[in-house]
Chains A and B, each alone.
Chain A
Amino acid sequence: MSEILRCENLTKRFGQTIALDGLSLLVGSGKIIGLLGPNGAGKTTLIKIACGLLTPTSGNVYIEGEKPGVRSKSIVSYLPDVEHLYHWMTVEQIVLMFRDFYEDFRPDLAYEMLARLGIDRKARLKTLSKGNKEKMSLILVMSRNAKLYVLDEPIAGVDPATRDYIISTILNNYNPDSSVLISTHLISDIETVLDEVIFIKDGRTVLHGSVDWIRQQYGKSVDELFREVFAW
C-alpha cells in the first residue's frame, strides 16, 4: 500500500471559528474511504485544503508526497458539493474542456455514460435538471483515471434511485489502483462499499479503521457506531 494523501496537524480557522483543529491522517492506495462526520465537523474544509482550494492556517497536506499544486491537481479528481461546472457551456464543450486539461480523462467513457442517461451532447448545462447536473458532474469526475477521487457529499439530497446510480457509477469506474475518499453524513446508504472509515468531529480525527474491523470489534454496523460516537 503506497501513500496517496497525508495530512499533518492541519488547522484551519475562519476568524473565530476553528474548522480543523490539528487533524492528521494517512490514506493509502487501492481503498474506498468514508470521511464521516456530522455537518460542520470539517469534512468539506479538509477536502478543499487537499484539493488546493483553501490554504491551511497551519500544518501540511501532501498528495503523493507533494503539496497541492499543478501536479496534485492532475492526479486528483474532485467532485465538490456545489455546482461547479461552467453553466453556460454545452455538455459537449465541458467534456472537451476536461479532455483538454486532464490527460487522464476518457471522453469516450463520459459520452457513453451520458448517452445511457439520455443527456443530449448539445444541451446547455443550465437547461439540465438538478439530478442530471449532479450525475453529469459525477460522470466527468469518474471518467478520469485519477490516483485519488475526492467526492464531497455525492449522495446528499438525492432520491434512492439516483443514490444507487451514483454508487454503481463510482464502483464501475474507479481505477482499482487508486483511492476514493467519500465524505458523507448518510452512512447507512454507503457503508457497505467502504474499506475504511475516518470519523471526524470538531475538526479532529476521532476514529480511523477498516470497516470489517469495526464490525468485528463492536458487533455493530458503522452507522450504529457513528450514532454512538456522535451522540450528545
Chain B
Amino acid sequence: MGWNLDKKRPLCPQICEQICVLIAKGELKPGERLMSVRDVAVSASVNPNTVQKSFEQLEQRGVIYSKRGSGWYVSETETTAEGVRGELIRSKTAAYIRDMMALGLSKEDIQKYVKEFNHE
C-alpha cells in the first residue's frame, strides 16, 4: 500500500490514522492479519520503533490486538470498523470546521459551501 506521510508532524499518529482508514474502508477485515512491523517499516521507509509504537497505541484503543509470536490482527469485535470510521469522520470534520472558522466563516457559511461544493 502507499503511505503518505507528512514529515512536519510526528509520524506515529499518521501511521495510526492510515491504518484506521484501511479498516474503515473495509480493506482490512476484522480478524485479518496486519503486515509485520518490519514490513510496514520497509514499505513506508519508517523507523520500526515508530511502527511498533503506532501498533501499541492502536492496541490500547482496542482497534488491533497482538498474538504472541504470530503478529498483529484487526480486532474481531463487530463494531470495530464502524467505531473507527465514526471516529475518523468526527476528527476530520472537526479539523475542517476548525480551519474554516479560522478563516472567519460561520457554521451556516460552512454548510452552504459544503452543499454547493461541486465534487467532480
The reply to whether B8 and A215 form a contact with Cβ atoms under 8 Å apart is yes
Q: Please judge, given known A-B contacts A171-B42, A172-B38, whether A32 and B7 are in contact too, CB under 8 Å.
A: no
Stretch in B21-29, B47-55, B112-120 touching the partner:
B47-55
* Chain B residues in 8 Å Cβ range of A167: 45
Closest to B39 in A: A172
* Chain B residues in 8 Å Cβ range of A193: 41, 45-47
**Residues from 81 to 108 in A contacting B, C-beta threshold 8 Å:** none
Asked whether any CB of chain A lies closer than 8 Å to the CB of B2, the reply is no
* Chain B residues in 8 Å Cβ range of A223: 7
* Chain A residues in 8 Å Cβ range of B12: 212
* Chain B residues in 8 Å Cβ range of A67: none
Query: Out of A32, A168, A215, which one reaches B9, CB within 8 Å?
Result: A215
The reply to whether A168 and B42 form a contact with Cβ atoms under 8 Å apart is yes
* Chain B residues in 8 Å Cβ range of A176: 48
Whole-angstrom CA separation of A195 from B46 in the bound complex: 9
Query: Out of B45, B48, B50, which one reaches A164, CB within 8 Å?
Result: B45
The reply to whether B38 and A192 form a contact with Cβ atoms under 8 Å apart is no
The reply to whether A192 and B7 form a contact with Cβ atoms under 8 Å apart is yes
The reply to whether B8 and A172 form a contact with Cβ atoms under 8 Å apart is no
The reply to whether B47 and A194 form a contact with Cβ atoms under 8 Å apart is yes
